[in-house]
A and B are shown apart, each in its own frame.
Chain A
């Protein structure tokens, strides 16, 4: 295992060492100490490695991740795993706003709460939040799954496309064009798999599914006054 002291060696050195790792690397275990809320830690990795960050981070931790597994033993600032392509990012604490925004793939697990705009414009990423999420989450979410074991804030799934939203607790309010949907057996199976990957013991049957009512997809002449 390679230990990297962020305060001593700096962010550029860390990220450049992580970018040097290729598919065949044998340096697969990394540990980052003293993150102290720094921004852009472990961004842009493209290798099957595991990075453990011992402490809380600032903006954009694990952004654009491909293949790597990134564990944060603390909380994260805004934009964790933003635009993730594949791999896994696991947060032991809470996440600030727009966690997993625009993500194309991979799994983001937040063991605490996530604040506003979680999964905004998600495009295929799976996000599992053990706690609650804030307002405007999954805004314009296009595909992928957002699983919330606690409650969701205001305007969940506003202007939603085809992402699936599963919430176990209450939803403060639904956004425009988001509606409650039937839980079919394939959804229960999908949830079982996601919850298990996210190390969460919630039961799939306890969740409600929300999705797009698909009324905002096309321009409707009746709405022309609104423009």
Chain B
């Protein structure tokens, strides 16, 4: 099954409630997938800096000497904000090309969850309530965000198998469904030099979008071509620096409901996820069409 939620704010006065609203939506979807949960949140952007969300099983020990190490080897200002098993590392934009290899030389066990200037991704094994509380998501503000609660089918229940998956800078993907050609596509993408870490089908979907965009496609075009090249069931919600998009496969058996008011555009796997949003009673509520790419931008 899996449950997806998404919230795109048009009204800036709701921004400080984003984490709270999104967490509530995701917790409502718990019974669609209790294995792992994750949230991608887009807060203010500072174009001169780049942000990485990183994760470690032994965060407090592993992250302790990280700021000094990174500062020394990247020769720039480094800010590390620890949040439970995750940390947000903010760097001066000029040194980011060397970040992942420097991090690997510091400690190869530390994983990169997201990179961008606005995006932060938090994900762990557990119920949405535990995961959102663990990272204090309800206290976070932002312009838009997406969340996912997973019922694993194609690969193991692990932190790295949790959604959202980071696709490119400030881009991420969540998925409800299962891809049936992910093994052959993974081999193809690896041959093309795309890094794929896990045996997870959605990571292949995310890597596919990254690959398409590296070859010049816009996100919209990459999503359009995913309808041709990905075999299986999917409702995708993607996040970008300035908005979010939705696409469903042509069969469209994985559910999706959207609601729009003057204040927001919201996505839920079920209407239940949307019932506590402000003004939902008078919102325009509809089901996105199959094989159609939808996109909202700030």
A interface vs B, CB < 8 Å?
36-38, 56, 58-59, 75, 77-78, 93-94, 96-97, 115-116, 134-136
Contact A97 B255 (CB under 8 A): yes
Q: How far is the CA of A128 from the CA of B260 in the complex (A)?
A: 27
Q: Which one of A38, A77, A94 contacts B255 once the chains associate, using CB atoms below 8 Å?
A: A77
Q: Which residues of B contact A78 (CB under 8 A)?
A: 255
Contact B271 A77 (CB under 8 A): yes
Given the known A-B contacts A94-B287, A115-B287, A116-B290, are A56 and B271 also in contact in the complex, defined by CB atoms under 8 Å? yes
Q: How far is the CA of A94 from the CA of B285 in the complex (A)?
A: 9
Closest to B250 in A: A135
Contact B252 A77 (CB under 8 A): no
Q: Which one of A58, A97, A134, A135 contacts B272 once the chains associate, using CB atoms below 8 Å?
A: A58
Contact A58 B270 (CB under 8 A): yes
Contact B275 A96 (CB under 8 A): no
In this complex, the interface size class of chain B, counting residues with CB under 8 Å from chain A, is: 10 to 19
Q: How far is the CA of A162 from the CA of B142 in the complex (A)?
A: 54
Q: Which of A36, A37, A38, A58 has the most CB of B within 10 A?
A: A37
B253 located at the interface, meaning its Cβ lies under 8 Å from any Cβ of chain A in the complex: yes
Q: How far is the CA of A37 from the CA of B287 in the complex (A)?
A: 14
Q: How far is the CA of A116 from the CA of B286 in the complex (A)?
A: 13
**What mask results when residues 3 to 27 of chain B are scored 1 for a CB within 8 Å of chain A, else 0?**
0000000000000000000000000
Contact B285 A75 (CB under 8 A): yes
Contact B272 A38 (CB under 8 A): yes
Contact A96 B255 (CB under 8 A): yes
Given the known A-B contacts A94-B286, A96-B287, A135-B290, are A37 and B255 also in contact in the complex, defined by CB atoms under 8 Å? no
Q: How far is the CA of A96 from the CA of B257 in the complex (A)?
A: 9
A37-B272, A96-B257, A135-B250 are known; give 11 further A-B pairs, CB within 8 A. A36-B275, A37-B270, A37-B271, A75-B271, A77-B255, A77-B271, A96-B255, A96-B287, A97-B253, A116-B253, A135-B252
Q: Which residues of A contact B290 (CB under 8 A)?
A: 116, 134-135
Q: Which residues of A contact B274 (CB under 8 A)?
A: 37
Min C-beta distance of B269 to chain A, whole Å: 10
Min C-beta distance of A38 to chain B, whole Å: 7
Min C-beta distance of B253 to chain A, whole Å: 7
Q: How far is the CA of A56 from the CA of B285 in the complex (A)?
A: 11
Q: Which residues of A contact B287 (CB under 8 A)?
A: 94, 96, 115
Q: How far is the CA of A97 from the CA of B286 in the complex (A)?
A: 12
Q: Which residues of B contact A135 (CB under 8 A)?
A: 250, 252, 290
Q: Which residues of B contact A58 (CB under 8 A)?
A: 270-272
**What mask results when residues 264 to 282 of chain B are scored 1 for a CB within 8 Å of chain A, else 0?**
0000001111110000000
Q: How far is the CA of A82 from the CA of B148 in the complex (A)?
A: 28
Q: Which residues of A contact B273 (CB under 8 A)?
A: 37
Min C-beta distance of A131 to chain B, whole Å: 11
Q: How far is the CA of A62 from the CA of B271 in the complex (A)?
A: 17
Q: Which residues of A contact B286 (CB under 8 A)?
A: 94
Q: How far is the CA of A93 from the CA of B283 in the complex (A)?
A: 13
Closest to A136 in B: B251
Q: Which residues of A contact B252 (CB under 8 A)?
A: 97, 115-116, 134-135
Q: How far is the CA of A96 from the CA of B252 in the complex (A)?
A: 11
